[in-house]
Amino acid sequence: MEDLSLHILDVAENCITAGASLVEITVEEDVAEDKLVITVRDNGRGMDPDFVSRVLDPFTTTRTTRKVGLGLSLFQQSAQEADGDLSVESALGVGTTVTASMRHSHIDRKPMGDMAETMVTLIEGNPEIDFVYTHRRNNREYVLDTRELRADLEELPLNNPGILQLIRDNVKEGIDEVAKGLT
- What digits encode the pLDDT tens for the residues 82-97? 999 999 999 999 999 9
DSSP string, 141-177: EEEEEHHHHHHHHTTS-TT-HHHHHHHHHHHHHHHHH
**What pTM was estimated for this model as a whole?**
0.91
Count the helices and strands in the chain (H runs, E runs): 6, 6
Number of domains in the chain: 1
CB distance 37 to 101 below 8 Å: yes
Which residues are 26's β-sheet partners? Answer: 39, 134
CB distance 41 to 96 below 8 Å: yes
Pairing label, strands 22-30, 130-137? parallel
- Pick the closest to residue 123 from 26, 16, 17, 43 (CA basis): 16
Domain residue limits at 135: 4-182
Provide φ and ψ at 88, rounded to 5°: -130, 125
Residue 63: give its domain's CATH number.
Answer: 3.30.565
Confidence of residue 144 (pLDDT cuts 50, 70, 90): very high
181 Cβ contact list (under 8 Å, min separation 6): 137, 138, 139, 140
Rg over alpha carbons for the chain, rounded to the nearest Å, is: 16
- What digits encode the pLDDT tens for the residues 51-109? 888 777 766 555 444 333 568 889 999 999 999 999 999 999 999 999 999 999 999 99
